[in-house]
Amino acid sequence: MIAVLGAGSWGTALAIVLADNGHDVRLWGQRQEQMDEINEKHTNEKYLPNIHLPEAIVGYVDLVKALEGIETVVLAVPTKAIRDVLQRVRTCIERPITIVSVSKGIEPDTHKRISEIIEEEMGERLQDVVVLSGPSHAEEVSLRHPTTVAVSSKNMDAAERIQDLFMNHQYFRVYTNPDLIGVEIGGALKNIIALAAGITDGLGYGDNAKAALMTRGLAEMARLGSRLGANPLTFAGLTGIGDLIVTCTSVHSRNWRAGNMLGKGYALDDVLANMGMVVEGVRTTKAAYQLAKKMNVDMPITNALYDVLFNGKDVKSAVDSLMARGKTSELEDLANISL
Ligand SMILES: NC(=O)C1=CN([C@@H]2O[C@H](COP(=O)(O)OP(=O)(O)OC[C@H]3O[C@@H](n4cnc5c(N)ncnc54)[C@H](OP(=O)(O)O)[C@@H]3O)[C@@H](O)[C@H]2O)C=CC1
Ligand SMILES: O=C(CO)COP(=O)(O)O
């Protein structure tokens, strides 16, 4: 029995994987009518339209009941809700639990990764935290289309247990990667680049601009990541370039879609109000901007996006100012290693 906290797109899609793998799943959400829909109709139309959910998924609105006797919890709420949800979880459990973190972001102001927030909030009530990340749109996972992700943890035995839980030999393939920092930083920062890629698409620029953003975006992801202690090679893997590709090139991506609307001239508040789902890249842009300043790491795309999102800079001038920068070498400061 596994509990999945957060009945949005990703929590529900991962509940399907777990149910397909033979597990009973308690899917916890905060709205009674949504849990009734899951239990009576076996659907979650708002987040995964036209998908029939396996009957092994049972919706719970009562967190105490959802967590009764549970040892493994998948945490699938937006990053801004994580502290609040964990503070409630802590009071509901009697023994330490393993938490699988599947949310992607960095916290503004504290600059903590999600696994660090989980450790801080759970204290002694935490057995292990395992991060699951990679190129994986919920919409495609729920259709059982072939998908690959990676898991990482400070305790790789725990990561392997979670690999076994999620991996199946039909459509969901799970790799391990011991580089916890790289896995989390890649998954968080790719959302910034996806917003930027959406903007250039919205402005009507073509494939050259998008390839430039993705490549130079990956360079700045690796630059900050390696300064934080990540292995630069992780950025060439599923949780780096893999997730960057899927997020920058897919209409499923909420970050790309939000960027696309900004590129077409819509205001940020209207874009977010109309999305109806989380756009993590906005909050992560603030965190990465602050972190890059603090650590003196050059992140031109992140800085340009920060100006668009938080200083009202017009999108076209943000792209123009990126192109107007002084000359540099492609490999300069690419990673915190000597080349
Ligand atoms: N969607 C995807 O394909 C993927 C998403 N992710 C990551 O997973 C995380 C969750 O994203 P996703 O599922 O897509 O988001 P959605 O916007 O689809 O769903 C968010 C869910 O979280 C719930 N929620 C929000 N705030 C709270 C709260 N305070 N307490 C309890 N529940 C809350 C919402 O409930 P309600 O409906 O009641 O508002 C909703 O069920 C994000 O960090 C995202 O980056 C990672 C990989 C793939
Ligand atoms: O992380 C994701 C795919 O791997 C989902 O991206 P979006 O949040 O942009 O939809």
Residue 149, in any domain of the structure: yes
State the 10-residue block means of pLDDT for the chain, 339 residues long.
98 98 98 98 98 98 98 98 98 96 98 98 98 98 98 98 97 98 98 98 96 97 97 98 97 97 97 96 98 97 98 97 95 65
Residue 215, in any domain of the structure: yes
Beta bridge partners of 28: 5, 60
pLDDT tens across 147-204, in order? 999 999 999 999 999 999 999 999 999 999 999 999 999 999 999 999 999 999 999 9
For residue 275, give the ligand nearest its CA. 1
CA dist., res. 150 & res. 161, Å (int): 13
What per-residue confidence (pLDDT) applies to 336?
59
C-alpha closest to that of 190 among 227, 129, 238: 238
Question: Starting from the edge strand earliest in sequence, which strands make up the sheet with 25-28, in order?
Answer: 57-60, 25-28, 2-5, 72-75, 97-101, 126-133, 147-153, 172-176
What per-residue confidence (pLDDT) applies to 200?
97
Residue 331, in any domain of the structure: no
Closest atom of ligand 1 to 84 CA is 29
DSSP string, 276-327: -S--HHHHHHHHHHHHHHHHT---HHHHHHHHHHHS---HHHHHHHHHTSPP
**87 & 132 share domain:** yes
What per-residue confidence (pLDDT) applies to 337?
57
- Of the candidates 111, 145, 176, which is a domain's last residue? 176
Residue 135 CB–ligand 1 contact under 6 Å: no
Residue 24, in any domain of the structure: yes
CA dist., res. 237 & res. 230, Å (int): 13
47 carries a ligand binding annotation: yes
Specify whether the CB–CB gap between 154 and 101 falls below 8 A.
no
**165 & 48 share domain:** yes
Q: Which residues contact 264 (CB under 8 A, 6 or more apart)?
A: 202, 203
C-alpha closest to that of 56 among 39, 74, 73: 39
**36 & 154 share domain:** yes
Q: What is the CATH classification number for the domain harbouring 170?
A: 3.40.50.720
**137 & 268 share domain:** no
**96 & 244 share domain:** no
What per-residue confidence (pLDDT) applies to 100?
99
> Ligand 2: which residue has its CA nearest to atom 7?
253
- Of the candidates 176, 205, 221, which is a domain's last residue? 176
Q: What is the CATH classification number for the domain harbouring 219?
A: 1.10.1040.10
134 carries a ligand binding annotation: yes
CA dist., res. 324 & res. 28, Å (int): 49
**120 & 222 share domain:** no
What per-residue confidence (pLDDT) applies to 89?
98
Query: Residues 40, 274, 82, 199: is their CA dihedral positive or negative?
Result: positive
Eight-class DSSP state of 152: E
Taking the centre of ligand 2 as the mean of its atom positions, its distance from the CA of residue 104, in whole angstroms, is: 8
Tokens of 38: 């899951």
**157 & 207 share domain:** no
Mutate which of 5, 12, 14, 30 for ligand 1? The one with the most ligand atoms within 8 Å of its CB, which is 30
Closest atom of ligand 2 to 257 CA is 9
For residue 15, give the ligand nearest its CA. 1
Residue 300, in any domain of the structure: yes
**49 & 162 share domain:** yes
Residue 336, in any domain of the structure: no
In total, how many domains does the chain have?
A: 2
What per-residue confidence (pLDDT) applies to 320?
97
46 belongs to the catalytic site = no
- Domain range enclosing 154: 2-176
Mutate which of 101, 149, 189, 253 for ligand 2? The one with the most ligand atoms within 8 Å of its CB, which is 253
For residue 103, give the ligand nearest its CA. 1
Query: Residues 104, 292, 155, 233: is their CA dihedral positive or negative?
Result: positive
What per-residue confidence (pLDDT) applies to 332?
77
CA dist., res. 163 & res. 98, Å (int): 13
pTM (2 d.p.): 0.98
**144 & 243 share domain:** no
**201 & 147 share domain:** no
- Of the candidates 153, 176, 199, which is a domain's last residue? 176
136 carries a ligand binding annotation: yes
| Helix 180-202 × helix 300-310 angle, to 10° | 60
Residue 183, in any domain of the structure: no
- 């709420």: which residue's tokens? 77
Q: Which residues contact 40 (CB under 8 A, 6 or more apart)?
A: none
**134 & 215 share domain:** no
**150 & 254 share domain:** no
Closest atom of ligand 1 to 31 CA is 38
Residue 339, in any domain of the structure: no
CA dist., res. 5 & res. 60, Å (int): 9
Mutate which of 5, 172, 278, 282 for ligand 1? The one with the most ligand atoms within 8 Å of its CB, which is 278
What per-residue confidence (pLDDT) applies to 331?
83
Indicate which residue of 41, 80, 112, 190 is catalytic.
190
CA dist., res. 194 & res. 201, Å (int): 10
75 SS3 class: strand
